Chain A
Amino acid sequence: MSLSRRKTTFGFAAGAATLAIALAGCGSSSEPESSNSAAAGGSGDEPVTLTLATFNQFGYSAESEGGADYAYDLIAEYEELHPNVTIVYNVADTSNTARENFFTKLGPGGLADVEAIEVDWLPEAMQYSDMLADLTNPELDGNWLDWKVQAATDADGRLIAYGTDIGPEAICYNVDAFEAAGLPTDPAEVASAIDGDWSKFFDLGQQYTDATGKGFYEENAAVLQGMIGQLEAPYEDPATDEIVALDNPDVKAVYDQLTAASESGLSAGLQQWGDDWAAGMANGDYAVTLCPAWFLGVIEGNAPDGNWDIANAFPNGGGNWGGSYLTVPASGANVEAATEFAAWLTAPEQQAKAFENVGAFPSSPDAAASDAVQSYTRAFFNDAPAGEIYAERAAAVAVSPYKGSHYFQVNDAMVNALRRVDEGTMNAADSWAQFEADVQAIG
């Protein structure tokens, strides 16, 4: 995606891309049905080559994922169990690359037999659920948490994706910063100080900010993610998919609560994932962050000399941030074998192994209850019993918010609205007005 500045035809890059897709589409758009019926059974003896495509590190095979030494190689294990199956495993470098690839090839064909998708673009994939194989299988009931399954079930009741990992959230805090502000530093005490609703969290923040003059958390948009994730239907009406964000009093309440907090200095105003944000984590510019299981490595990487710990609590119950699924595109040549493979990869035993490989927290309650997960501790966080904490946090997640086709556009507008207030580009009222205009333009 490195478009040269001097490519005179760049204005048509999008057009050209669409063309390529259109041309490809002409050739193969009629394939799905015909190849579906021709699918060879995976349990048979005929040799089958299955392709698997994921991104980042799912913890399946160190060789393909370029990771450090994994305890298990799940790809090799499956090939051993099924001698007739050969697996070709491709890993994209980022979720965004995988997303573009997924949607450009979903229509015309050319996707892998098993394609990983991230929750962030699951709602977009749900619009095309008819192009993904129905993976419903009563035998697998109980393999995943209810809300994980519910989010991947379309209006017709078809399950189109098997859950892999999830991102149950706890609160991570900077122990030294809490100490400097005269706040409790013991994880249990911090947890009880946070446990409650969001106003309790903001009160704690106010104490911290009053004592130190620094921001409590990195930025409003980061906390928004936790608050919006607890609303049943924040931006869209589940029945009609219509955008209702502007009429939803809960959304406005979240916005008001956050902008009020930022006016009292609770937000450090450092954009998540930016350079300043990473440096700020090491320099103690903020004391807490919403902290899903996969986030622990991020903190370790950004603040290697820091003294951080995990509080087993999350305001207003539980929250989930991130996680992925495996889907089987219906146009593939080996739908049946691919479905079997995806089911195996996401079964509790394999989820527990992937957790041991890369720390991807399992979406399977059985895997979360397994010894491997329960006994897992994290040295960097003062030997916090991370496995136990996150298993409890996962159980606390009660709501899977409805995410319709415009969820991420509306959410982006909301993130921008909060950032404008954080940056001081606009005041809260003006920024909300701009948010209203932005949302009205969507669609």
Chain B
Amino acid sequence: MTTTQPQTEAPIAPQPPRGRAPLTWRQRLGRWDVKLSPYLYIAPFWIVFAIVGLFPIVYTAFISFQDWDLVRNTGTMTGFDNFAFVLQDREFWLSLRNTFSIFVLSSVPQIIIATFIAAMLDKNIRAKTFWRMGVLLPYVVAPVAVALIFSNMFGDKYGLINGVLGDLGIAPIAWHVDVVPSHFAIATMVNFRWTGYNALILLAAMQAIPRDLYEAAAIDGAGTLRRFFSVTLPQIRPTMIFVIITSTIGGLQIFDEPRMYDTNGQGGSNHQWETITLYLYNMGWVDFDFGRAAAVAWILFIIIVAFGLLNFVVTQRFIAGDTAAKAKKVKKVKK
């Protein structure tokens, strides 16, 4: 161990006397190379981001304080009026409620089912590739097509599902009228599309788990369930966190499915399934009120940042717990 001392501590050459000798042009270039190159290499991303990411964000903020006319490209300053309007708008709060409700109804079952499917695919089954590609198929279908198929199935009067329910003697469900059924129907579309995708990511993580852990657990007498909960789940934790974060971000931005859920595309007569992105879209592209739409965009931004921070804190705790445990183990071994 001692042979690989960090180089910085070892004197390489005798220090020149105070008042350094002037560097040659080559040396200077070499220095700049070391100092500046990394920034130059990442510069393309930041330049593109500044143009298509940062500038729109700032410009959106600028518009959000104005009564904006899209066509004439001018606006009058109105201060916080747009924000005040949005925060007092019943539609905004309803769409916020819908967003979270659909998010919970989609993300939670989605991750549970995806984990289960991944665990099954991780077993020794025949025609592995076939099954693994199979779960990804719904992801290939365009979301708009998914929405069209499902909104047909969830028809109030002539939908497939209500037809089956009717045959079973159950009263039809008003999928396009009642709040919870409409959220359930939209969450079903989201789950259909994303469960297989998440399952594949989790499967990749599961396959990276060393098999000897399972063997050791089996020798210790752990059953299948015990192995799943005590070996598989802890081992895929970082991937699980990744899946949770991405589906949170996606869940707060659900748009295609509610927009395609009925022909009107505005979230229902009483805003039963209008999500916050749909609210933003209606504000901007139906009402052409871009000032208010920009205000909604900023409020949504703040909500997502808040959620991201929450996720970050939770993630930190998980990972901190993990490394702390490892550190303890190492100490024990040393003793």
Known A-B contacts A7-B253, A18-B60, A423-B174; the reply to A124 vs B294 at CB < 8 A is no
**How far is B193's CA from A14's CA once the two chains are assembled, in angstroms?**
25
Question: Is B159 part of the contact surface with A, judged by Cβ < 8 Å?
Answer: yes
Main secondary structure of the interface of A (DSSP, over half): helix
Q: Mark A390-425, 1 if CB is under 8 A from B, else 0.
A: 000000000000000000010010011101100111
Q: A274 near B262 (CB under 8 angstroms)?
A: yes
Closest to A418 in B: B269
Q: A103 near B288 (CB under 8 angstroms)?
A: yes
Residues of A within 8 A of B53 (CB): 9, 12
**How far is B142's CA from A274's CA once the two chains are assembled, in angstroms?**
21
Q: Mark A12-40, 1 if CB is under 8 A from B, else 0.
A: 10111011011001000100000000000
Question: Is B72 part of the contact surface with A, judged by Cβ < 8 Å?
Answer: yes
Near B by CB (< 8 A), chain A positions 245-282 give 270-276, 279-280
Residues of A within 8 A of B194 (CB): 5
Question: Is A108 part of the contact surface with B, judged by Cβ < 8 Å?
Answer: yes
Number of A interface residues at 8 Å Cβ cutoff, please give it: 55
Q: A5 near B250 (CB under 8 angstroms)?
A: yes
Known A-B contacts A107-B70, A124-B288, A426-B270; the reply to A12 vs B301 at CB < 8 A is yes
Closest to A279 in B: B158
Residues of B within 8 A of A283 (CB): 158
Near A by CB (< 8 A), chain B positions 107-153 give 142-144, 151-152
Known A-B contacts A12-B57, A274-B262, A275-B151; the reply to A416 vs B270 at CB < 8 A is yes
Interface size class of B (residues with CB under 8 A): 35 or more
Q: Mark B59-88, 1 if CB is under 8 A from A, else 0.
A: 110010000101111000000000001000
Question: Is A441 part of the contact surface with B, judged by Cβ < 8 Å?
Answer: yes
A335 to chain B, nearest CB (A): 18
Question: Is A2 part of the contact surface with B, judged by Cβ < 8 Å?
Answer: yes
Q: B73 near A21 (CB under 8 angstroms)?
A: yes
Q: B177 near A423 (CB under 8 angstroms)?
A: yes
B71 to chain A, nearest CB (A): 4
**How far is B155's CA from A279's CA once the two chains are assembled, in angstroms?**
10
B55 to chain A, nearest CB (A): 6
Closest to B51 in A: A19
Q: B157 near A103 (CB under 8 angstroms)?
A: no
Q: A16 near B52 (CB under 8 angstroms)?
A: yes
Closest to B260 in A: A2
Question: Is B200 part of the contact surface with A, judged by Cβ < 8 Å?
Answer: no
Q: A19 near B70 (CB under 8 angstroms)?
A: no
Residues of A within 8 A of B192 (CB): none
Residues of A within 8 A of B187 (CB): none
Q: B144 near A18 (CB under 8 angstroms)?
A: no
Q: B269 near A423 (CB under 8 angstroms)?
A: yes
Near A by CB (< 8 A), chain B positions 275-291 give 277, 280-281, 284-288, 290
Known A-B contacts A12-B57, A14-B280, A29-B73; the reply to A5 vs B253 at CB < 8 A is yes
**How far is B101's CA from A66's CA once the two chains are assembled, in angstroms?**
43
**How far is B264's CA from A103's CA once the two chains are assembled, in angstroms?**
20
| Chain A residues at the B interface, C-beta cutoff of 8 Å | 2-12, 14-16, 18-19, 21-22, 25, 29, 100, 103-104, 106-108, 124, 127-128, 131, 270-276, 279-280, 283, 285, 409, 412, 415-417, 419-420, 423-426, 434, 437, 441
Q: Sorted from nearest, which 4 A-B pairs have the closest CB atoms?
A: A15-B60, A419-B269, A279-B158, A273-B263
Q: List 24 A–B pairs whose Cβ atoms lie within 8 Å, in order of A's numbering.
A: A3-B256, A4-B143, A5-B194, A5-B253, A5-B254, A11-B253, A11-B300, A12-B53, A18-B60, A18-B63, A18-B70, A18-B290, A18-B294, A19-B56, A21-B73, A22-B59, A103-B70, A275-B155, A276-B155, A276-B158, A420-B270, A423-B176, A425-B177, A425-B269
| Chain B residues at the A interface, C-beta cutoff of 8 Å | 52-53, 55-57, 59-60, 63, 68, 70-73, 85, 89-91, 142-144, 151-152, 155-159, 174, 176-177, 190, 193-194, 246, 249-250, 253-256, 262-264, 266, 269-270, 272, 277, 280-281, 284-288, 290, 293-294, 297, 300-301, 304
